[in-house]
Amino acid sequence: MATIKAVDALSGAAIIDEFKRCGVEFIVSVPDRVTSESVLRRVAADTALKLVRVCKEDEGVSICAALSVCGKRAVLLMQCTGLLDSVNALRAIAVEYEQPVVMMVGLLGHESESPPAESPKYGISVVPRILDAMNIAYEVLHSAGDEKRIAPAIERAYANSTPLAILIGRSPV
């Protein structure tokens, strides 16, 4: 595997700045290996964000949806395995109820700039195909600078009251 230079890598600090730029107050999370150190640990130490630690990711779908009804913005930070485990909750609460459930999803084991749909790993390639099938919009981030797409995508999700998945293809630093 090619070594990823830190200068090319996504920045956890920049990701959090994007959350704040678009008014995200709550991070709801089950720890994800891809974002654990660079994002979740920073969130836990950041007094400007409220961290809700959940036992299972589908709880987070409901919590984020309920917070949106309260006028509060949230991001569900989880691993792609958690997204797969939450498909029924997403089907009903996010898609059928048309609610802005925003997810940041670490693609565990991808660590590549290639499109996730082309991954030789089924657990990765199935993620965008499921999102497509569910008509859930998604962004794929893997390199420095991609973070700037986060806040506009979240703004669109809340403006249109639609779910959004932000897929993290390589571990941020």
Partner 1 sequence: MMKRDECLDVIARHHTNEIVVAVYQAAFQWVVIKPDAPNCIATGAMGQGSSHGLGFALGMPQHRVLVLDGDGSLLMNLGTLVTIATAAPPNLVHFVCENGTYEANGGHPIPGKDVLSFAGMASAAGYREVHEFSELDKLDAALPGILKARGPVFVTLKIVPGKMYPENFGYMHSPKARADFKRALKRLPG
Residues that bind partner 1 (CB under 8 A): 26, 50, 52-56, 58-67, 69-72, 88-89, 91-93, 96-97
Shortest gap between Cβ of 167 and partner 1 (angstroms)? 23
Shortest gap between Cβ of 99 and partner 1 (angstroms)? 9
Token pair in block for residue 88: 């029924």
In the complex with partner 1, the residue whose CB is nearer, 4 or 54, is: 54
Shortest gap between Cβ of 117 and partner 1 (angstroms)? 27
Q: How far is residue 170 CA from its own chain's centroid?
A: 13
In the complex with partner 1, the residue whose CB is nearer, 11 or 68, is: 68
The conformation of residue 95, written as its DSSP 8-state character, comes to: I
In the complex with partner 1, the residue whose CB is nearer, 53 or 148, is: 53
Tracing tokens 């400007």 back to the chain, one arrives at: 48
Shortest gap between Cβ of 76 and partner 1 (angstroms)? 11
In the complex with partner 1, the residue whose CB is nearer, 3 or 96, is: 96
Give the C-alpha separation, 125 to 10, whole Å. Answer: 21
Shortest gap between Cβ of 27 and partner 1 (angstroms)? 12
In the complex with partner 1, the residue whose CB is nearer, 6 or 69, is: 69
Shortest gap between Cβ of 125 and partner 1 (angstroms)? 26
Name residue 166's beta-bridge partners.
Answer: 104, 139
In the complex with partner 1, the residue whose CB is nearer, 85 or 139, is: 85
Please, which residues have CB within 8 angstroms of residue 13's CB and are 6 or more apart in sequence?
Answer: 42
Q: What counts of helices (H) and strands (E) characterise the chain?
A: 7, 6
Nearest to 43 by CA among 84, 4, 78: 78
SS3 state of residue 55: coil
Give the C-alpha separation, 127 to 36, whole Å. Answer: 20
